[in-house]
Amino acid sequence: MARVLIVEARFYTHLNDLLLEGARAAIEEAGHSHETITVPGALELPGAIGLAAESGRYDAYVAIGVVIRGETYHFEIVAGESARGLMALSMDGLAIGNGILTTENEAQALTRAKPTEKDKGGEAAKAALAMLALRERFA
């Protein structure tokens, strides 16, 4: 049984709840255990996963968050840098599923977050587990 850490940037509570529901269901359906921690924002997700990885307590990670475009360039920085940080960690061998929604508006985020629609939280958890299986195959 794998130990999966879900790291969430909790900003849009109602959207995060849906992403978490999907992620937790996918992990449990696959027969694994999970724990959840919260960080201030999407930019902190890679750092928290890096710190957790140093503990050796987890086998895979799911990053959950929502970034909705606003009126400033901040959206591009947060979306790009959080994804870059997660990619760098995955290149170091961590099994990570990226469940950070980057959308133009809340309606798009809601469609992607709902487990009954696009279920991006569940997809991120499944991606993390698939990468874990791949890492174990090549070990």
Between CA 33 and CA 58 the distance in angstroms is 10
- The binding site for (2S)-2-hydroxy-3-oxobutyl phosphate comprises 71-72, 112
- 84: phi then psi, degrees, rounded to nearest 5: -60, -45
Work out the number of other CB atoms within 10 angstroms of the CB of residue 5.
Answer: 22
Residues 60, 89 contacting (CB under 8 angstroms): no
Phi, psi of 68 (to 5 degrees): -110, 130
Distance CA 126, CA 52 (A): 20
**Integer CA distances (angstroms), 53 to 41, 78, 86, 134, in order:** 19, 22, 12, 18
Q: Which residues are annotated as a binding site?
A: 11, 42-44, 66-68, 71-72, 98, 112
Annotated catalytic, 74? Answer: yes
Annotated binding residues for 5-amino-6-(D-ribitylamino)uracil: 11, 42-44, 66-68, 98
Active-site annotation holder among 14, 32, 34, 74: 74
Kindly list the catalytic residues.
Answer: 74
